[in-house]
Structure 1
Amino acid sequence: MARAKYQFLPDLSEDDIRLLDRVSDWIMAADEKYITKFSAFLDERQCLLCEKIMASVKYENYRLWGGYENAARRMLCVYPEYGEAESEDFPITAITLLYRKEDKITHRDILGSLMGLRIKRDSVGDILVGEGKSAVFLRSSVAGEVTSVLTKVGRAGVKLREGYDGSIHIEQKTQEISGTVASMRADCILSLAARISREKSAQLIKNVGIEIDHMLKNSPKILLEEGCTFSVRGYGKFKLLSVDGTTKKDRIHITLNKFV
């Protein structure tokens, strides 16, 4: 019955449905009882699902925020009419980690250290890794524990301070791929992107799925559009940059970026 409510959102998992049910309850609580609710940190797919359910019921009193502009992992706030959701209202605390520049710390190192403290994944937002300095965005309820206990990440000693000054700039490295495809079907484009046969590409999509703009699909026939991002587990993440015309044999020339 619950799944039928969300027929306009295909390929939902049981976790997706639980999230959407919870958000639907929050909308009702905000609308009828003037209650404001905050979620845990949501990944990009979950954020997109929340936006879609809000649009479906034309509810505009919500905000997604991750502690800084353009965060990938964000919290959802659902608030009543005439309410607000300011950045400082969100239960998010930024922690900056300081260490020697010669110590190389990775995203995995920081996340692993937090998991070692039994911090749940949904209490951790984005992790920004720089040179001699990194930042992590945490649910405020666990931030105190982290600052009082965490003194080492990997083999590197770290000093922690509350706050983030915005000085860590993450540059996403990409590799350009161009070529021709028979059609804009997902299996054709994945074949070019991953340098595998179209048959293997189609089988991968059927068995594993392809995530297109954070929504999981299992049809090799689905058409991709210019500007979309897509990924398949084990083969990486790509963006379809442009469709550049057709050849004399009616093949389509496209340009992709692979995130590396």
Structure 2
Amino acid sequence: MKLRNFSFLNNTSDDDKRLLSTFLDWTDMADEKYITKYSAFLDERQCLLCEKVMASVKYENYLLWGGYENAERKMLCVYPQYGDENIIESFPMQAVTFRFRPEDKLSHRDFLGSLMALGITRGCVGDILVNSGSASVFVKDTVVRDVLGITKIGRVGVKAEEGFDVQSVKEPEFREITGTVASLRLDSVLSLALRISREKASALIKGGTVEVSHEKTDQPSRTVEPGDKISAKGHGKFLLKSVDGVSHKDRIHITICKYI
């Protein structure tokens, strides 16, 4: 594998570079040998890096898909030109839905822990959608049989079946925060989101606990834009929804959505 130059990306580890180099090797294989390749499940940050790298080489014959619209964890498919028919149906993944009593409270962590206990790696598991009395898990097709054999999550009895109901996908819930900031610097926006001083927000950022659109940053002066997601470890996740104008004192009105 040829290690590529990713100097245009920020905060990329050697593991990131190896993964992205593999994806670019796949584009060569698709163009030269007409081979289609699929990745394991990628997290949101890896998906974002993938999109940036594909854009950098102007490669369009790829798709990130997680089993339903707006999935967080997705597989990458790199395919030859004119090979995009039925791409979604070809992804090597399957949804498994677990049924249990609504009074048995199970969490995302409960399901993930049970899967890991079977020796299933994180890359084989996509999103886990937990509802009252049911949970749908997206997994690589190589582990479907093992997942369907699960009869207990912790001490709770469950019944597993193939497939999932798209109606079980819940829209994210938000609480809106509105206010004004002196600028769209990260420390200013985070200060409003967390209702703390700008100095405290700056300290959090410098401490390495903050990500912007899944990229770690320690720069309080970094500019954020509408659509950027901000997460602060231990404090929650936020979306800069909109910039709503400027006050007569030249402060910027913004709307932030906090995930709840």
TM over 0.5: yes
The answer for the alignment partner of 1:218 in structure 2 is 218
The answer for the alignment partner of 1:32 in structure 2 is 32
The answer for the alignment partner of 1:245 in structure 2 is 245
Within-5 A mapping of 1:95-174: 95-148=96-149, 150-174=150-174
Q: Which amino acid aligns with 2:165?
A: D
Offset at residue 141 of structure 1 (A)? 0.5
Contact 1:65 1:75 in 2 (8 A): yes
Offset at residue 209 of structure 1 (A)? 4.9
Structure 1's 123 and 178: CA in aligned 2 closer, same or farther, altered over 3 A?
same
Q: Deviations over 1:33-60 (max 9, x none)?
A: 2211100000111111111111111111
Moved over 4 A (4+): none
Within-5 A mapping of 1:40-59: 40-59=40-59
What SS does the aligned partner of 1:6 have? coil
The answer for the alignment partner of 2:197 in structure 1 is 197
Offset at residue 199 of structure 1 (A)? 1.6
Q: Relative to structure 2, which stretch is displaced further, 47-56 or 240-249? A: 240-249
Compute the RMSD of aligned alpha carbons.
1.8
Contact 1:61 1:79 in 2 (8 A): yes
Q: Which amino acid aligns with 1:29?
A: M
Q: Deviations over 1:117-141 (max 9, x none)?
A: 1211111001111121211000110
Offset at residue 89 of structure 1 (A)? 0.9
1:77 aligns with 2:77: yes
Question: Kindly, what percent of the aligned residue pairs are identical?
Answer: 56
Q: What CA distance in whole angstroms lies between the structure 2 residues aligned with 1:66 and 1:245? A: 36
Q: Deviations over 1:178-212 (max 9, x none)?
A: 22222111011111111222122112212215322
Q: What CA distance in whole angstroms lies between the structure 1 residues aligned with 2:4 and 2:97? A: 44
Offset at residue 247 of structure 1 (A)? 3.3
What SS does the aligned partner of 1:63 have? strand
What SS does the aligned partner of 2:112 have? helix
Gaps of 5+ in 2: none
Contact 1:115 1:121 in 2 (8 A): yes
Structure 1's 145 and 248: CA in aligned 2 closer, same or farther, altered over 3 A?
same
Taking structure 2 as the reference length, what is the TM-score of the superposition?
Answer: 0.93
Offset at residue 8 of structure 1 (A)? 1.5
Contact 1:62 1:76 in 2 (8 A): yes
Q: Relative to structure 2, which stretch is displaced further, 221-230 or 31-40? A: 221-230
Q: How many residues align?
A: 258
Q: Which amino acid aligns with 2:158?
A: V
Q: What CA distance in whole angstroms lies between the structure 1 residues aligned with 2:225 and 2:61? A: 30
Structure 1's 208 and 125: CA in aligned 2 closer, same or farther, altered over 3 A?
same
Q: Which amino acid aligns with 1:135?
A: S
Contact 1:175 1:257 in 2 (8 A): yes
Q: What CA distance in whole angstroms lies between the structure 1 residues aligned with 2:79 and 2:169? A: 32
Q: Deviations over 1:145-183 (max 9, x none)?
A: 1212x1111332000011113231313222221222221
Structure 1's 192 and 202: CA in aligned 2 closer, same or farther, altered over 3 A?
same
Contact 1:208 1:232 in 2 (8 A): no
Offset at residue 4 of structure 1 (A)? 7.1
The answer for the alignment partner of 2:184 in structure 1 is 184
Q: What CA distance in whole angstroms lies between the structure 1 residues aligned with 2:181 and 2:60? A: 41
Contact 2:151 2:157 in 1 (8 A): yes
